[in-house]
Chains A and B, each alone.
Chain A
Amino acid sequence: MDAIEPPGGTGTDTDVITENVVVTKRPWNVVVWNDPVTPMSVVVVIFKRVFGYSDNKATQLMLTVHHEGRAIVWSGQRDRAQAYCVKLQVAGLQSTIEQDS
């Protein structure tokens, strides 16, 4: 394989400056809020359907919503968080997105 020199470089004498910048992006959370009317089993079904969660995980999250008033049900990229939030709202749950603190 032929060596490829950088433009204007002499091969051996060229300083290659590499700037490694690490940008840590804080994830976006999808939050579901408690309300006094929604049956618990409905919340579990919606979590399983929207996220594909197991029955166990969906139940754990539902109980967190019930006892703590809210739960982070998914974290990741903003556009996906927004899409999940929309799906939850379409299914009738009170949901918002927020950036992780």
Chain B
Amino acid sequence: MVGRHRMFVRRRDGRVEVRLNDLGRAVAREAFGRVVAAERDPDHEWHVTLSAPIDPSADQDDPLATLTRQNETSTNAELAVMTLNEQFLNDAEAWAWLSTLQVALRATAVANGLLSDEKLAACEPELTNFIRTLQSFLFELAECL
């Protein structure tokens, strides 16, 4: 699309430039913050998505694998929060942003029962807007990685 404002740009030095405005950063802040909160709070509406079974055939997942997932998800989300106001992200930081945004996107869909195209199309406008915004961030960030 000609003249379209890009939100993430891969620079020649390998860094990813973040061109989000205040509104865009506020959406990212909300998404990152909710992932951090969900990882810490078992009662959070997103926690179920973050603790989905690794091996559904077993009664209980390997505790080490569960702990690894918890640590890595938290690490990504906390790194994303810490770099929220940065203009440039290195590769690891950009990956943390993408992972955390994707976790937030899927958790939003699962928490609201949006597991089909029909339900997604029928959800309320505010929620649709949040989902579409996360998708647009992810789409552009994926092009940089």
Residues of A within 8 A of B (CB): 35-39, 41-42, 44-46, 49, 82-83, 85-87, 89-99
Contacts and interface: CB of A to CB of B under 8 A. Distances in A.
B120 A37 contact: yes
Interface string B62-79: 100100110011001000
How would you classify the secondary structure of chain B's contact residues: helix, strand, loop or mixed? helix
Contacts of A46: 102
B20 interface: no
Nearest to B49: A94
A35 B106 contact: yes
Contacts of A49: 95, 145
Contacts of B114: 36-37
B133 interface: no
B103 interface: yes
Interface residues of B, number: 38
Chain B CB within 10 Å, residue with most, of A37, A45, A94, A98:
A37
A44 B102 contact: no
A36 B103 CA distance: 14
B131 interface: yes
Interface in B34-69: 52-57, 62, 65, 68-69
Given A39-B135, A49-B95, 15 more contacts: A36-B115, A36-B120, A37-B109, A42-B98, A42-B142, A82-B54, A83-B68, A86-B68, A86-B72, A90-B73, A91-B103, A92-B99, A96-B55, A96-B56, A99-B57
